[in-house]
Amino acid sequence: MRLQIKGICHSYDQVEALRDIDFGIEPGEVVALIGPSGCGKSTLLSIIGGMLTPTKGEVLICDQATPDGCLNPLTYVFQDFALLPWRTVAGNISLVLEDHGLSKTDRDARVAEVLEQTNLWDFRDAYPKQLSGGMKQRVGIARALAVRPAVLLMDEPLSALDAQTRILLLDEFAALFARTGMTAVYVTHNLNEAVRLANRVVALRRRPGTIKEIHTIDIPLAERCDGMPELVAHERALWNLIRDEAIAADKELENVA
């Protein structure tokens, strides 16, 4: 599925959040959205996913192609795990399949498939209270993958995790994207996450969010690793790009507080 974000503007009452956002998302591409606090990253993701109607502009689906068995073309992974405490890991994953007319055999097959993909098979009968934060987020990823989305929309999925768990899951995300060629839009404050995962990074200015630059990273995902000099250079370039905006936004938030 290919998406075109065209002339997106959005305001909340008198606050202009986004202005004239234009870019495309190609099939098999991971696009990261970065920028200072309050620049509209999550708002833009909500508009792309159809959860929020923009004040102006549109998101066009230019290519309707979806994976075999796709049940939900645009699927979210949130920072909040949103797991049902009374359901097991397998039960939480199965939940998103239960209103699609699939047989129990088909549901069970999909659940087994994503449990294997996310290294959760041995935890399939565990309950959320028995899981670490990282394991809970794996369940959130598995639940999203179960519907075989065309585009995965990820809103700071690692920000609530400790540093060690974040590194482990970042490696798993990179391996997943490299292995599947999945299309994804990834919102993050963390530039290391952006350079590890994204083919292109869309840097937004502070409010109202406008595109400052679209930065391309031409290194195959399977070849990237932490500390790689080329990635460090990309991370430094992105920081230089948004540093002044981030400092200004931080001072603005302090003044509001």
What CA–CA distance (Å, rounded) separates 39 from 15?
11
pLDDT at 254: 55
pLDDT in tens, 191-221: 999 999 999 999 999 889 999 999 999 999 9
Contact 125, 90 (CB under 8 A): yes
Quick one: which H or E segment has residue 235? helix 229-256
pLDDT in tens, 219-236: 999 899 888 999 999 999
What CA–CA distance (Å, rounded) separates 218 from 165?
27
Sequence letter at residue 195: V
Residue for token pair 């500390």 = 227
Task: Report how far apart, in Å, the C-alpha atoms of 14 and of each of 43, 55, 125 are.
Answer: 15, 12, 49
pLDDT at 256: 42
Average the pLDDT over 121-145 and give the result. Answer: 93
pLDDT in tens, 19-71: 999 999 999 999 999 999 889 999 999 999 999 999 999 999 887 778 888 89
The model's pTM: 0.91
Domain boundaries, the chain: 2-256
Q: What percent of the chain has pLDDT over 70?
A: 98
Contact 17, 53 (CB under 8 A): no
pLDDT of 94 strictly over 80: yes
Q: Which CATH architecture has domain 2-256?
A: 3-Layer(aba) Sandwich (3.40)
